[in-house]
Structure 1
């Protein structure tokens, strides 16, 4: 029996009115890894816990594997940093490629986190709240019971897809991307592949529907718009709050 499971905290795209933004919680050996961290992350975890019957909260999270800095993937990091600092008494851990992490503080978090009237004139910085774990293409990085490999995707900002191993199994996560056959081939080594589907700069569902049946059988859809017609694609969508053994 697999010791790697996926809990779908959210499955929608950035504009969804029906679902939380796409976010995954992977569990192996009793520990959790988040793939991305949108707001409101603790509410998302609670709702998925209630629906699935599998409890999870931030105190059990080993790290966040961050794909990129678009807000629907990273807007919960401020809350994670504050909760970890003030409630858990520790720094939150973020695993990210250096190109993804480069503007995490100055371009995303500093406006809401650097000011502390108790420490003036010294401002807080990224290291006060977060421990950064650099990921690199071409090599796996161990984070607790997980091993994370990353690969760049086709997206307007630096973005990485992941292959994440734990408990003897592997999950592939496309992150946001245009359709990229080479990326699909890279992800196909995983036992379960979670791929986005959408419009514009995202992967058209019809391109995934044209993949070989054996590959489609281990694909699951995520990051989809509310009005995307998912039936007939031959690929099952993730359900928000769904619990999936790998």
Structure 2
């Protein structure tokens, strides 16, 4: 399984890159490469186009409906609805149930059909806690996690490897379950110990991400969702104090290869 980091800036697009977006690639038994996008936050649709033709996407997963995780779906919808190709199928979008209405509100329209067209470009599927998804060679377990809005983390199995993705969350039992024995735990660390203690139920710190990875027995930890005002060395040091395994601080355009 291959993971492309399209954007990883926390809470908003930063000076060096877009907000959260990650592209998964995996070949199936017939050699066909499947591509699933996890989140498409503010500023991410531009760099996505430097990695693949968006028409090659097989599905999109949206963890929650904060702008830094879904807002650039507006650009993807324009691409899909008005593209010169007329053979594009509806693109499956798996997300919290309010997404279609949220997109319509952002685009100042009634209903799901883009202006001047006669069809809905996306096929929406509502995420639920405990759901099992199958997209080509990807098998995904969905769990609701701890965030101020409806939010989900994911356990993704493909090619004999396991990737856990936290989405946005504070520490919770569901996150430990998702990360159990994962080959790679892609985990947000948006807060810093001490500085952000006044906020609860929103984000992890590097320390809490490391604690979760250690409890879960994850093989490696990749930290993400670091906001522009935070020195990445701080959450990295916090995580290293809690987790003895390999730790990576992801950067825009990183490519991570998973092996079991």
Distance 1:244 1:33 in 2: 15
* Residue 60 (str. 1) matches residue 56 (str. 2): yes
Alignment partner of 1:67: what SS? coil
Q: Deviations over 1:88-129 (max 9, x none)?
A: 433222023xxx12x21223334416366657xxxx7xx712
1:237 aligns with 2:249: yes
The within-5 A match list for 1:206-217 is 206-210=207-211, 212=214, 215=217, 217=219
TM-score (norm 1): 0.81
Q: Is the 8 A contact 1:6 1:24 kept in 2?
A: yes
Provide the residue aligned with 2:104 in structure 1.
109
- Specify every segment of 5 or more residues in structure 2 that has no aligned partner in the other structure, as ranges: 28-32, 192-198, 241-246
1:203 maps to what in 2? 204
Say whether the 8 Å CA contact 1:24–1:35 is kept in structure 2: yes
What is residue 3 of structure 2 aligned with on the other side? Answer: 6
Q: TM-score scaled by structure 2? A: 0.77
Distance, in Å, in 1 between the alignment partners of 2:141 and 2:256 is 21
Q: Give 1:214 deviation, angstroms.
A: 8.6
Unaligned runs of 5+ in 1: 50-55
Residues 78, 109 of structure 1: 8 Å contact kept: no
Partner of 1:222: 224
Contact preservation (8 Å) 1:195, 1:222: yes
- Aligned match of 2:34: 31
What is the count of residue pairs matched by the alignment?
A: 226
| Alignment CA distance shift 1:40-1:184 (3 Å) | same
Distance 1:7 1:180 in 2: 26
Structure 2 equivalent of residue 94 of structure 1: 93
Find the residue that maps to 2:209 and give its secondary structure.
Answer: helix
Structure 1 residue 6, shift from structure 2 partner: 0.4
1:143 aligns with 2:135: yes
* Greater helix content: 1
Query: Aligned partners of 1:224, 1:186: CA distance in 2, in Å?
Result: 21
